[in-house]
Structure 1
Amino acid sequence: MPEIVVKRVYEPYDPEDGYRILVDRLWPRGIKKENLPYDMWAKEVTPSSGLRKWFHSDPEHHWPVFVSHYREELSQSDAVEKLMPLLASYPKITLLYASKNKEQNHALILKDFLDKKMKV
């Protein structure tokens, strides 16, 4: 089972990151595509546009409901199922996200979801 970690996309590249997956629906601000070392952009496993916009309208108060709704989206996602074999082929996966909030962001929810799914 691979180790999955999360990292802000603005943090420096480290060869120890392993397979790097950008998990934001929108390209991170201020970064040119050719300047970001990443192996895959997995837009399909990010929160839906409606859910993302709703959450960002009031992150502090929407967080608990956002977590629940995003987990539900992940549990019904074909993209997650397609991603699982790829994840299993790497010893370390780094999920890259752009959010400034390191404690409340979708990459943490995705990491938890994937960790649990791999243990099944």
Structure 2
Amino acid sequence: MGDIIVRRVYDDGGQVEGAAFLVDGMWPRGVRKEDLERVRWVRDLAPSAELRRWFGHRPERFAEFRRRYREELDGEADAVRPLLEAARHGPVTLLYAARDTEHNNAVVLREYLRDRLAGPDG
């Protein structure tokens, strides 16, 4: 099983390890598609617009955001599958645009993927 790396799309010139996935619902501002040509955009795995607006990147809401987002991910088995497969075969990089490096959807998604990989079906 490969490592799952979480990296801000604006850092390190978008350097990625292994299979790379942009996990935001909107394309990152100021980033050209050519700059991420090796990156697969999985917007189906982004939090719903309603959840994103409610969270508003407020750290005090992160625990509840995590719970709700994980529920949304449970309903996206087909969209999660390629990330799980990639992680079984090597490193995976999850790219996101948020400024907060600790309280964002990519952190929750990495947790979710690791839990799924460690589970009985992993």
Q: What band does the TM-score fall into relative to the shorter chain?
A: 0.7 to 0.9
Task: Give, in angstroms, the shift of residue 81 of structure 1.
Answer: 3.5
User: Is contact 2:86–2:92 with CA below 8 Å preserved after alignment?
Assistant: no
Name the counterpart of 1:51: 51
Query: 1:5, 1:93 within 8 Å by CA — same for their partners in 2?
Result: yes
Which residue does the alignment assign to 1:35?
A: 35
Cross-structure match for 1:14: 15
- CA distance in 2 between partners of 1:76 and 1:36 (Å): 27
Structure 1: state its 5+ residue gaps.
none
- Structure 1 vs Structure 2 CA RMSD: 1.8
Question: What residue number does 1:62 align with?
Answer: 61
CA distance in 2, matches of 1:13, 1:82: 21
How many residues are matched?
Answer: 117
Partner of 2:2: 2
Query: In 1, Cα distance between the equivalents of 2:58 and 2:114?
Result: 24
Percent of aligned pairs with the same amino acid: 37
What is the distance in 2 between the residues matched to 1:24 and 1:40?
11
Gap regions ≥5 residues in structure 2? none
Q: Answer whether contact 1:45 1:77 (CA < 8 A) is retained.
A: yes
Residues 1:95 and 2:87 aligned together:
no
